[in-house]
Amino acid sequence: MAHRIQLILAIALMLWVVIFGMARCVKAETVTIITDGGGDLIAYIARANQYRKDGTKVAIIGSCASACTVFLGLPQGQVCVDRQAWIGFHQTSSVKPQPEAVRASYDDLLWQQYPDEIKRAVGRLTPNLTWLRGREIIPAIPQCR
């Protein structure tokens, strides 16, 4: 009798793990960006790659500048922008002095993250921030609903 109860409990536990584990896999998380001034480019690219792999969605509803903009390169359906969002683009910079060639390679890496429509809207990366409103990039990135 005790063995039968253990077996039933074990089966129930396995079913619970399968059902809730599958539900967790199906439901993608959404990260909402309200204010993000950027940071370490490599860390942001790594986070974007993890979001791409996990299916995590990113909703940019506020300001997103600098390295934060790499999220615009997520696949269609994984990123959206609010019409009132502010998106800021600029050349990469570092708190540590770096040779120009290193900075330029980081600029190239950042630029590669953007869809072509974003590249056309920005023109080129400069030392000064170029701000675009969400409504200006909605043709390239879907509007958050």
User: What pLDDT, in 10s, does the model give residues 24-44?
Assistant: 445 679 999 999 999 999 999
pTM of the model: 0.77
- Between 46 and 93, whose confidence is greater? 46
Nearest to 132, CA basis, from 79, 63, 67, 75: 63
CATH pick for 30-137 out of 3.30.70.1150, 3.90.226.10, 3.90.1150.10, 3.40.50.720: 3.90.226.10
Is residue 136 within a helix (H) or strand (E), and if so which, with residue range?
helix 134-137
Cα–Cα distance for residue pair 41/63, rounded to 1 Å? 17
Using a pLDDT cut of 90, give the percent of the chain over it. 71
Domain boundaries, the chain: 30-137
Helix (H/G/I), strand (E/B), else coil: 98 = coil
Is a pLDDT exceeding 60 seen at residue 18?
no
Nearest to 75, CA basis, from 7, 141, 6, 143: 141
Cα–Cα distance for residue pair 48/45, rounded to 1 Å? 5
For the segment 28-86, what is each residue's pLDDT rounded down to a tens digit?
Answer: 799 999 999 999 999 999 999 999 999 999 999 999 999 999 999 999 999 999 999 99
Nearest to 137, CA basis, from 91, 88, 75: 88
Mean of pLDDT values over 103-107: 90
